[in-house]
């Protein structure tokens, strides 16, 4: 990749159209509000222009803005842009030619933009009189020349969906009829002509394949799968067009693209269709009404990529190139040559749309497994034989390995390395990441290399909505701890076409192979929430529990609830009711002898929010461990933490009676429904990013009043005494003591997360992704709400740092160094077998993976540890001590003889 420019994530950075020139390309973004030109050579900007005014809508306009960009066919250096009410023209040299405003009303919408050698023509729909007003503006200076109107039968939305423009034609589909409306191009001739083409059934799509000043080709697709291609030729010295149908037989799912080149005699038409794992191409030359010189190519794809979503065919220096975007987000470039088609580029662009991440431990190696097996078995005799046999087999395999090493040497090293990549290492540092993308492609990625182990594509995939984001539940059904059984993971998603249908797919995270027994497409209920059982049922597998829209709980696969959930510890479930903005807590009573696989939920509490809208919730990581129950203070007394595992953080947004926007943060106990913490921030803008761990919460927001990003940190404490030292219950009458501090952040925040370690002994670091591309590791001690304003010796003894409002970021704590990553949406942290080490995986537009050591490397040797010096000095000491002993004995005897 030569260069890459990342635009804004908001509406302003969304690209509307790219117009390609020889040296640079003009990119129109922000719904026709900005034009910029980037050079191909280095990606630097040549010029940038933007609209000079904007609409500040007082009433929220629900109709999305509409924008049309066209290149003037008669003057290729001029681009006309119509953005809602703004019409402007720029030249490819970066000159704003003119810009005018066309008044719009709720009944008058600008829809079409056409251009001729003299005029820029805007078609605007007047829904009052059902007429299309056609206004002519001078191409030179934007002066309105004249206007006319014609009857129009579509409404604004239909006009946009069903109509296309081409030269001076507007093409509209009306059921099985295609209307071709010719807009006159000169002022002399003002009558509008309309002609029709009949199709065999309802027209689904009109696509313009090729457009020039004298010839055009369009495609009409009907809903019965019939596809027709029409060729338009301009009549001499008039603005009218002749058209004729091209005689071409096509499959219903095929895509068409047309390429022209100066060297080619005519135009070449490419028909492409996807068929399982195969792409078929037919290239022909358009010759009057028929196609000649048809050649067929086919290419085997490495995996199932679904249907074609976009196709472009181009001939560059006599090389025929086909660029495709597939349904699974893959970008393909295929070269067509005389000896067949060849796939020359394949990029999994789906990886930039990750929505769920889970990590799996790798499987134990055979030797590790044998050691595990050694201690299995029942009865004295079987245990003894097992032990002896396993030790013998270990010995044999050791000798075999030695033999192999001597006979083969390095020859099958590659193969061994590949095998070793899938086996757990000594400290469980390497893992498999399972990522689910929003297009429905699931990847298994090895962490040590970043290589993709396997991919699975689910074509009918649609994610669930989760507050203001999308979400796909991904579960560990069976972990890698059970070495006799392969691990299993499940994803739950909705059907793309019927959103009430839920699919469950269970697969082996090492290979991606589907486990068909635990895969279903039909659940007889509408799913509201899904979670994992607390207890393993059959063969160490956990089951999925679904809450349906009637507040009934079901298990999948169907097993008695008493086996899936603990009967000794009561189960509470909370759900969110969006229409009432309320959290509702339910109690689930399970009888031990009950064999029911589904039951009703009983409501026990309800927390509803008035005048504020819940925008997000945040739960703690399931891997969160609390090592110590308290903090030892400077005077040797203990301050006990309030570590409630049932807390969730709730973020709400609203506008108060003084019209001041506010954001509220709550900590809600999901068992009792009581609020343990509530903070109000006025003049604050979301997004609020939250980390909830142990007994503390850290969240960030944008302060509109002081125009800076801030972080608030709060800790909850039980106090000097602990209510119950052995177990925690939400029903214990504990009022937590809350300490809070606010800090100023030097950068904005895209995502934050806390490091995770196996036992939670290591101190915590906060990983923060910033919009400028850095991943910063900040020790939690800097966010500690107990940082004192003036430092007493007792605080110093405890290791507290004096409070300063600003959190300074040292570039040494940037964990991605100069490899900046942009538009990070989430960070995933996992513990490893080493207590000091936490794995960090940041995902978004870019992916980044590393290991961090929040308390430095305390349980392993440094990379540059010199084994040679230690080894040789030990040897030297041993030898030296023997020599010294000898000398000492000689000395002793000499002394004795004196």
Partner 1 sequence: MSNVIVCCLFYSVLIIITTSSTTSTTKAPLYTIEGQIVLPPDENNLGNIRILVDEGLYIGVPHVDGTFTISGVPSGSYIVSVNSPFHIFEPVRIDINKKGKIRARAVNFIEPGKVTTKKYPLRFEVHSKPNYFQKREVYRVTDLFSNPLVLQATLLVVSLLLLPKLMPQGEDLQGALQQTNGLFQPNPNMPDITDWFIRLFGAPTRQRPARN
Question: What is the binding site for partner 1 (CB under 8 A)?
Answer: 3, 5-10, 12-13, 30, 33-34, 36, 38-39, 42-59, 61, 101, 103-105, 706-709, 744, 746-748, 770-773, 805-806, 811-812, 814, 817-820, 864, 866
Under 8 Å between Cβ of 855 and 835: no
Closest separation in Å from C-beta 705 to partner 1: 8
Closest separation in Å from C-beta 101 to partner 1: 7
CB closer to partner 1, 184 vs 826: 826
Closest separation in Å from C-beta 21 to partner 1: 17
For residue 651, give the 3-state DSSP assignment.
strand
Closest separation in Å from C-beta 745 to partner 1: 9
CB closer to partner 1, 363 vs 770: 770
CA distance 486 to 508: 7
Nearest to 184 by CA among 223, 131, 129, 240: 240
Closest separation in Å from C-beta 814 to partner 1: 6
CB closer to partner 1, 33 vs 764: 33
Closest separation in Å from C-beta 682 to partner 1: 16
CA distance 6 to 16: 15
Cis ω on the peptide bond leading into residue 500 (within 30° of 0)? no
CB closer to partner 1, 127 vs 239: 127
Q: How many CA atoms lie within 13 A of 521 on its CB side?
A: 8
Please give the full DSSP string across 97-124, using - where no structure is assigned. EEEEE---BTTEEEEEEEE-SSEEEEEE
CB closer to partner 1, 679 vs 685: 685
CA distance 742 to 782: 11
CB closer to partner 1, 236 vs 812: 812
CA distance 49 to 47: 7
Closest separation in Å from C-beta 98 to partner 1: 14
CB closer to partner 1, 102 vs 421: 102
881-895 in b/e burial notation, b at 16+ Cβ within 10 A? eeeeeeeeeeeeeee
- For residue 751, the cross-strand partners are 769
Closest separation in Å from C-beta 86 to partner 1: 10
CB closer to partner 1, 249 vs 893: 893
CA distance 146 to 187: 8
Q: What tokens does 868 get?
A: 């040679």
CA distance 515 to 505: 8
Closest separation in Å from C-beta 877 to partner 1: 17
Closest separation in Å from C-beta 886 to partner 1: 14
CA distance 215 to 606: 67
Q: CB pairs under 8 A, 24+ apart, for 334-338?
A: 334/279, 334/281, 334/299, 336/281, 336/283, 336/297
Closest separation in Å from C-beta 826 to partner 1: 17
Q: Which residue in the block uniquely carries the two structure tokens 């925690």? A: 728
CB closer to partner 1, 379 vs 805: 805
CB closer to partner 1, 473 vs 773: 773
- For residue 844, the cross-strand partners are 824
Chain-centroid distance of CA 514 in Å reads 23
Q: Is 10 exposed, middle or buried (0-12, 13-18, 19+ CB in 10 A)?
A: exposed
Closest separation in Å from C-beta 810 to partner 1: 9
Q: Is 681 exposed, middle or buried (0-12, 13-18, 19+ CB in 10 A)?
A: buried
CB closer to partner 1, 101 vs 795: 101
Q: CB pairs under 8 A, 24+ apart, for 518-525?
A: 518/477, 518/488, 518/490, 518/557, 520/556, 521/495, 523/554, 523/556, 525/549, 525/550, 525/552, 525/554
CB closer to partner 1, 748 vs 779: 748
Strands, E, within 139-185: which ranges? 144-151, 163-166, 169-174, 177-182
Under 8 Å between Cβ of 442 and 326: no
Closest separation in Å from C-beta 59 to partner 1: 5
CB closer to partner 1, 694 vs 777: 777
CB closer to partner 1, 49 vs 651: 49
Question: In this structure, what DSSP letter does residue 732 have?
Answer: S
CB closer to partner 1, 51 vs 256: 51
Closest separation in Å from C-beta 822 to partner 1: 9
Q: How far is CA 350 from CA 226, 326, 356, in A?
A: 31, 10, 13
Closest separation in Å from C-beta 83 to partner 1: 11
Q: Within a 10 A sphere around the Cβ of 416, how many other Cβ atoms?
A: 13
CA distance 675 to 662: 19
Closest separation in Å from C-beta 734 to partner 1: 37
CA distance 487 to 479: 5
Q: How far is CA 667 from CA 90, 239, 620, 786, in A?
A: 53, 69, 11, 19
Closest separation in Å from C-beta 687 to partner 1: 12
CA distance 478 to 536: 8
CB closer to partner 1, 3 vs 146: 3
Closest separation in Å from C-beta 658 to partner 1: 21
CB closer to partner 1, 103 vs 524: 103
Please give the full DSSP string across 420-448, using - where no structure is assigned. HHTB--TT---EEEEEEETTSEEEEEETT
CA distance 102 to 108: 10
For residue 386, give the 3-state DSSP assignment.
helix
Under 8 Å between Cβ of 785 and 715: yes
CB closer to partner 1, 2 vs 198: 2
């Amino acid at each position: 990749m030569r260069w890459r420019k990342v635009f804004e994530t908001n509406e302003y950075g969304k690209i509307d159209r790219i117009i390609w020139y020889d040296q640079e390309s003009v990119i129109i973004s922000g719904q026709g509000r900005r034009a910029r030109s980037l050079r191909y050579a280095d990606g630097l900007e040549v010029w940038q222009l933007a609209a000079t005014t904007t609409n500040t809508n007082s009433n929220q306009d629900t109709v999305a803005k509409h924008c049309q960009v066209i290149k003037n066919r008669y003057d290729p250096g001029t681009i006309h842009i119509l953005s809602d009410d703004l019409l402007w023209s720029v030249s490819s040299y970066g000159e704003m030619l003119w810009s005018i405003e066309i008044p719009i009303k709720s009944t008058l919408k600008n829809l079409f933009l056409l251009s001729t050698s003299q005029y820029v023509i805007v078609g605007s729909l007047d829904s009052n009189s059902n007429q299309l007003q056609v206004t002519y503006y001078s191409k030179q200076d934007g002066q309105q020349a004249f206007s006319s109107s014609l009857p129009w039968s579509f409404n604004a939305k239909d006009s946009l969906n069903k109509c296309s423009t081409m030269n001076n034609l507007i093409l509209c589909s009306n059921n099985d009829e295609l209307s071709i409306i010719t807009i006159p191009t000169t002022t002399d001739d003002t009558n509008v002509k309309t002609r029709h083409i009949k199709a065999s059934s309802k027209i689904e799509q009109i696509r313009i394949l090729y457009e020039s000043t004298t010839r055009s080709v369009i495609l009409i697709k009907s809903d019965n799968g019939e596809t027709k291609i029409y060729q338009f030729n301009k009549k001499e010295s008039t603005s009218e067009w002749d058209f004729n149908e091209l005689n071409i037989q096509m499959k219903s799912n095929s895509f068409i693209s047309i390429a022209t080149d100066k060297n080619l005699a005519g135009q070449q038409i490419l028909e492409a269709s996807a068929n399982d794992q195969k792409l078929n191409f037919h290239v022909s030359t358009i010759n009057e009404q028929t196609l000649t010189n048809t050649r067929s190519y086919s290419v085997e794809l490495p995996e199932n990529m679904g249907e074609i979503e976009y196709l472009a065919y181009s001939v560059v220096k006599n090389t025929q190139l086909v660029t495709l975007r597939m349904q699974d987000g893959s970008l393909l470039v295929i070269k067509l040559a005389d000896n067949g088609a060849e796939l020359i580029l394949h990029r999994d662009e789906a990886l930039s749309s990750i929505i769920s991440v889970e990590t799996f431990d790798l499987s134990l190696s055979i030797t590790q497994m044998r050691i595990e097996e050694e201690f299995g078995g029942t009865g004295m005799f079987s245990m003894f034989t097992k032990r002896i046999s396993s030790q013998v087999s270990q010995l044999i395999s050791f000798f075999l390995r030695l033999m192999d090493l001597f006979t083969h040497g390095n020859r099958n090293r590659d193969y061994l390395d590949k095998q070793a990549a899938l086996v757990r290492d000594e400290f469980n540092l390497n893992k498999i990441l399972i990522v689910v993308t929003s297009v429905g492609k699931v990847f298994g990625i090895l962490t040590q290399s970043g290589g993709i182990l396997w991919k699975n594509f689910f074509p009918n995939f649609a994610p669930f909505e989760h507050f203001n984001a999308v979400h796909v539940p991904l579960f560990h059904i069976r972990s890698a701890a059970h070495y006799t059984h392969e691990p299993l993971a499940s994803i739950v998603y909705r059907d793309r076409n019927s959103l009430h249908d839920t699919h469950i797919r269970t697969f082996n995270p090492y290979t991606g192979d589907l486990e068909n027994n635990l895969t279903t497409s039909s659940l007889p209920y509408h799913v509201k929430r899904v979670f994992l059982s607390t207890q393993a049922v059959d063969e160490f597998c956990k089951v999925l529990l679904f809450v349906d829209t009637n507040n009934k709980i079901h298990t999948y696969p169907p097993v008695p609830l008493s086996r899936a959930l603990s009967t000794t510890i009561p189960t509470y479930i909370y759900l969110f009711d969006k229409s009432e903005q309320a959290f509702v807590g339910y109690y689930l009573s399970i009888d031990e002898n009950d064999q029911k696989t589904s039951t009703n939920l009983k409501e026990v509490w309800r927390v509803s929010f008035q005048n504020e809208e819940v925008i997000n919730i945040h739960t703690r990581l399931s891997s969160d461990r609390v090592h110590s129950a308290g903090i030892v203070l400077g005077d040797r007394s203990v301050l006990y933490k309030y570590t409630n595992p049932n807390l969730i953080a709730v973020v709400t947004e609203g506008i108060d009676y003084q019209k001041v926007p506010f954001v509220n943060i709550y900590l809600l106990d999901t068992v009792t429904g009581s609020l343990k913490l509530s903070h109000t921030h006025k003049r604050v803008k979301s997004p609020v990013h939250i980390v909830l761990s142990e007994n503390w919460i850290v969240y960030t927001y944008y302060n509109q009043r002081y125009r800076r990003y801030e972080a608030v940190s709060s800790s909850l404490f039980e106090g000097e005494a602990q209510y119950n030292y052995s177990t925690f219950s939400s029903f214990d009458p504990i009022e937590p003591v809350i300490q809070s501090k606010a800090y100023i952040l030097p950068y904005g925040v895209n995502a934050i997360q806390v490091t995770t370690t196996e036992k939670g002994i290591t101190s915590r670091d906060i990983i923060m992704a910033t919009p400028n591309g850095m991943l910063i590791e900040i020790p939690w001690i800097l966010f500690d709400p107990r940082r004192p304003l003036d430092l007493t010796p007792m605080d110093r003894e405890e290791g507290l740092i004096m409070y300063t409002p600003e959190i300074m970021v040292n570039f040494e704590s940037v964990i991605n160094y100069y490899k900046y990553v942009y538009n990070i949406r989430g960070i995933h942290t996992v513990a490893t077998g080493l207590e000091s080490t936490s794995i960090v995986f940041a995902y978004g537009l870019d992916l980044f993976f590393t290991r961090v050591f929040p308390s430095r490397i305390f349980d392993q040797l440094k990379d540059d540890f010199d084994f040679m010096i230690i080894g040789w000095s030990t040897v030297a000491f041993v030898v030296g001590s023997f020599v010294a002993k000898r000398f000492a004995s000689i000395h002793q005897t000499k002394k004795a003889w004196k």
